[in-house]
Amino acid sequence: MECRRKVLLVPKQQSGAVLQQLRLPNPRTGELSSYYADAQTETILEAANIDMKNKRSWLAGDWTISDGSAAVLTHVDPLFIYLALLTKASMSGDNEWRFVDIDNMLLESHGSTDAESIQLFFCMREARARALEALCTVRQISSDTVVVKIDAAKVMAWLKRKCDPNKLPHTLAESTVASLGASVPDDLAERAKTREIALLVAEYLPEYWTTRLFAEHGGFAGVCSSENVEAKRVQAMVFDSPDSYVQGVASPSNAAKLATKQQEKPKTAKEKQLERAAKKSKSITSFFQKKPVP
């Protein structure tokens, strides 16, 4: 098996840690994504790949990476992953949940998932205990058997704590309030900021919980977004430049938005002059008379 060398940019706290790569379902899409685990501190890091667009290369010792690719590792709350896995395993109908043996979830419903990664993830005892307390109803069947099911009230309370508007990135908070215009009531500004952080949190949620989170806030009635705010939100989620990066998951929908909102480079006076001249010029075929049709 070919072992491809990678360059990882890691948080300072994990700079000396031994990291193990995991393949876990993305909480929002369900598709397998790359994560890294620091088992000692029970920290989960998500990997956001940086496309250097062939502008740089890595050179060190006797190895090279010609395309300059790298991955930025950023912290992700493991409870988002637990919520997605438990939702899939515990849901038995619309707003109905069944008890499941968490130790058997791997065998029951994750045949297409990386079994070793799931097993290592579930073995992080502190993260597991936090997830069960924050998201589930727990029932002890025997000394060695525990069954759990999603507790919707607990989940919504946890999601509301995640959507604290005070946690919104400063630049995005400023743009959100500015987009509302002058003399904005404080309650409207708070609702607008809550909506923006809810959109960021939704990048880590299955659609089922995104719908209920927004319904819990009344769909944020009366709060409208603007192109400027949407662009700031995308910048908070997507890397798209070799010169800088931000943390987050780059969803295809957000990446598409970013592409449509990028500003074009202003044309020089020479380019504008050539463009005007081209519009006035005649096609070369106009200098030739058409042959009469016999």
Taking the model in full, what pTM does it have? 0.70
Nearest to 73 by CA among 106, 33, 107: 33
- Report the C-alpha dihedral over residues 182, 187, 191, 194, rounded to 10 degrees: 100
DSSP state of 241: B
Strand partners, 230: none
CB 151 within 8 A of CB 52: no
- Give per-residue pLDDT as tens, 8-23: 888 888 878 888 989 8
- Count other Cβ atoms within 10 Å, centred on residue 260: 9
- Give per-residue pLDDT as tens, 83-139: 999 998 888 877 789 998 887 776 554 455 677 888 889 889 999 999 999 999 999
| Axis crossing angle, helix 207-216 with helix 152-162, rounded to the nearest 10 | 70
Residues near 11 by beta carbon (within 8 Å), at least 6 away in sequence: 45, 73, 74, 75
Rg (CA), the chain: 25
| Alpha-carbon span 248 to 250, nearest angstrom | 6
pLDDT at 76: 92
pLDDT at 69: 76
- CB neighbour class for 110 (10 Å; exposed up to 12, middle 13-18, buried from 19): middle
Joined together, the tokens standing for residue 139 give 């029932």
**b/e 136-154 (16+ beta carbons within 10 angstroms → b):** bbeeeeeeeebbbbbbeee
| Alpha-carbon span 15 to 9, nearest angstrom | 9
Nearest to 149 by CA among 103, 105, 100: 100
pLDDT under 50 in the chain at which residues? 1-2, 109-110, 237-265, 284-285, 287-288
- Count other Cβ atoms within 10 Å, centred on residue 28: 19
